Structure 1
């Protein structure tokens, strides 16, 4: 079974916040002790962290669920609940994160980058927090907020200096096995390689100028790969971060496809997938030179991975191209690609009102939704407190601007209210 997985689904859930406590001091010789309920602890969050020690997404293939710990409930004597532990989920460097709808959310392109995948719920406040001059003994507290939960789509784009591009059975696997310590499966039939292979190529000279570069053997591309043929999209995405493209044409093609036609198809597929790939430094190689019978394209380096002919020249050409690409990046001469950074999408602030299919006026806004989710509306005084908080948030004004009338249904989160155009704004009864 393959040990390399480059795409998977991941279900993440933040821990729930602990509930606040309703409690009153009970001490000898104290006739009416004040409130002393502690707050609930916050739920832990789920973080994705890029780790260079993780090679693939195989850990999520059969076990896609990750959950953080929930916060503890508050207790009497102002004892606050402990917060839940965060869940740290380590993924390979180069992992991209998308929503189920395909919206890009984050790109973990460097070791150590962290991204908040699911926020933990906020702990509820104990009744101590709600003591006022008008109500010195509040008999209600807040419930803990549920942690965020969602499905994500993870895709891995390998980080390599050089990508080997060629038709199936063009000799890429044999080449990478000769110039590095990689040991891919090698056979004389197409599509032997069904997953990318990485190899580290080291060079050096008498001056001690050692140089390393990472070379990726990309599974064979065919005509139509940019449209998904032959798992083309899965293969092509591993070329996106490569600094240098090595285009290999087979000089001994059994299908008798000319090397010039191979080059045209390969470059056409790269350009159709991502036009900017054609702007990367490129080395053209004619493989199987020891048995080749087809004419190489102009400018191609002729190599034989079997005999070793031409390999020193190829390694030198790749190293020179990688050095130049790295130098340009370090000097800022090459434009930074937008997918090299984490994408932050802030939570929208404020209050807005939408109309549901059933005609209800739906109040959307994290502050309003949290007010209702955290409130234990069955407790005496809790509804009045929540209503005043909603008024301060501007919920009543937003509903009025949306055209709500007395008797209409308003909805905030999981709660529905019958709206009245008076000083109360809502009925005294709420149903979940």
Structure 2
């Protein structure tokens, strides 16, 4: 079985836009051909797409970089550059996306959910776009806009019908091996399970229960499937991060039913009822909604039990009590699906920022923030006087002068827009 990875970093970068072209018609019998430079193509976007066929985030562990294609440059005769191809990055269902500060950006729960991770740069306009009655032959064009680039944190929360909850070495892995084709490691020491695993349990009233009944050919018309998650064991203080607490608790947030597994043969002789109280307390401490989730409590290791327990019990080794437990889980899962009690599915989308903002960095130093302002200077060849005048008119149209005046900027102050810096002179 491949390694399971549920946390990783992603570096997403949109494609750079193509540069606009400076070109003029050159034909016989046309002594003064007008401008005919084409526009540059837009850079491709990077999209995160939830995919049911992707099981973990392993693909990002050793190579976290994903980049979309660049746009083509414009050419003469009004030929525009091609648009850069988008990059679709497939992630498992249940993947959450956060920025470097930990703020939630997106939650891709269902297959097909898409989220824009990095936007491609806009293509520059060719000199044809700048022709006017005042400027008949513009000798400048816009430069290419770089694609958006940033680091993101990806975190997977398993999507399952049932989660096995219990102390380390309580028999969870043995149980899921007995009822599904999942093969987690089983041993007689705590924390054998260090990574989650999913098992699909297929129940057929006529074919029995267990891995021998897998496959569509063995299932009758009344067959039923449910997904069970085996996750690392829980200990006191898991909600505060002790043991594998956070790694465990994250994966039970979205399950419909909890199977609380009480160890009846633990060498520490912890009372079974005390085990239940501790487990429920840790779940509630992590998320109060988990304590209210549908659950079923069962005692494990019935074949070697020596602790008093008056509830249902099972032995995954001998098969004792397994069928009734699965039958009860089936009832709870059916009820939960009908009531749609799974956590709310949602996606967070970033609103596109509009307008400009003026920040005072120090005495006599100001910075203009805003994508439109950065574009006005980044896409223009400011070494060309005509292009510089065009950029100035664009900034005036955005209200840059008024915003600087309101912020207290005076003559001689330094103003920065991205990498561009100039001395501010207020209008007369």
SS at match of 2:243: helix
Is 1:94 the counterpart of 2:94? The answer is yes
Q: What pairs up with 1:39-188 in 2 under 5 angstroms?
A: 39-188=39-188
Q: CA RMSD in A?
A: 1.4
Contact 1:26/1:33 (<8 A) preserved: yes
Name 1:428's counterpart in structure 2: none
Q: Give the unaligned 5+ runs of structure 1.
A: 424-432
Query: Where in structure 2 are the equivalents of 1:415-426 lying within 5 Å?
Result: 415-422=420-427
CA deviation vs aligned residue, 1:196-232 (integer Å, no higher than 9, x gap): 1111111122583221110001111111111111121
Q: Secondary structure, in 3 states, of the residue corresponding to 2:396? A: helix
- Distance in 1, matches of 2:343 and 2:191, equals 34
Equivalenced residue count is 415
- 1:261 aligned to which of 274, 284, 287: 274
Structure 2: distance between partners of 1:391 and 1:222: 62
Distance 1:321 1:357, change over 3 A: farther
8 Å Cα contact 1:139-1:380 kept in structure 2: no
2:32 corresponds to: 32
Cα offset for 1:335? 8.4
TM-score in terms of structure 1 length: 0.94
C-alpha separation between the residues in 2 aligned to 1:217 and 1:3? 15
Equivalent residues of 2:15, 2:147 under 8 A apart: yes
Equivalent-residue separation in structure 1 for 2:102 and 2:363 (angstroms): 29
Mind listing any 5+ residue stretches in structure 2 that lack a counterpart? 207-219
Report if aligned partners of 2:263, 2:300 keep a CA contact under 8 Å in 1.
Answer: yes
On the 8 A contact 2:254/2:343 being kept in 1, the answer is no
Distance across 2 between alignment mates of 1:95 and 1:322: 23
Deviation per residue, 1:332-380 (Å, 9 max, x gap): xx5853xx21101202211221111464211111111111111111123
Residue aligned with 1:11, SS: strand
* Aligned 1:223-372 pairs, distance under 5 A: 223-296=236-309, 300-329=311-340, 334=341, 337=344, 340-357=345-362, 359-372=364-377
CA contact (8 A) 2:6 2:155 kept: yes
Query: TM-score of the superposition, structure 2-length normalised?
Result: 0.95
**Of 217, 223, 226, which aligns to 1:210?**
223
Mark the CA change 1:184 to 1:144 in structure 2 (over 3 Å): closer, same or farther.
same
SS in structure 2 opposite 1:174?
helix
1-structure distance, mates of 2:164, 2:282: 14
| Structure 2 counterparts to residues 390-409 of structure 1, below 5 A | 390-409=395-414
Quote the Cα distance in structure 2 between the aligned partners of 1:125 and 1:24.
14
Indicate the SS of the match to 1:302: coil
**Contact 1:40/1:81, CA 8 A, preserved across alignment:** yes
In 2, Cα distance between the equivalents of 1:69 and 1:322? Answer: 45
Relative to structure 1, is the Cα distance of residues 25 and 380 closer, same or farther in structure 2, using a 3 angstrom cutoff?
Answer: farther
2: CA distance, partners of 1:301 / 1:358:
74
Q: CA 1:336–1:266 in structure 2 vs 1: closer, same or farther (change >3 Å)?
A: closer
Residue 219 (1) aligns with residue 224 (2): no
- DSSP-derived class of the 1:230 partner: coil
Preserved CA contact (<8 Å) 2:255 2:342: no
Is this contact kept in 2: 1:36–1:127, CA < 8 A?
Answer: yes
Query: Whole-Å Cα distance in 1 between the matches of residues 119 and 427 of structure 2?
Result: 38
Following superposition, the deviation at residue 138 of structure 1 comes to 0.4
The CA distance in 1 between the partners of 2:329 and 2:410, in whole Å, is: 72
SS of the residue corresponding to residue 301 of structure 1 reads coil
Pick the aligned partner of 2:388 from 361, 364, 383: 383
Contact 2:254 2:342 in 1 (8 A): no
Is 2:422 the counterpart of 1:411? no
Please list every run of at least 4 consecutive aligned residues from structure 1 whose deviation after the TM superposition is greater than 3 angstroms: none
Q: 1:350 to 1:335 in 2, by over 3 A?
A: farther
* Counterpart Cα distance in 2 of 1:48 and 1:372: 30
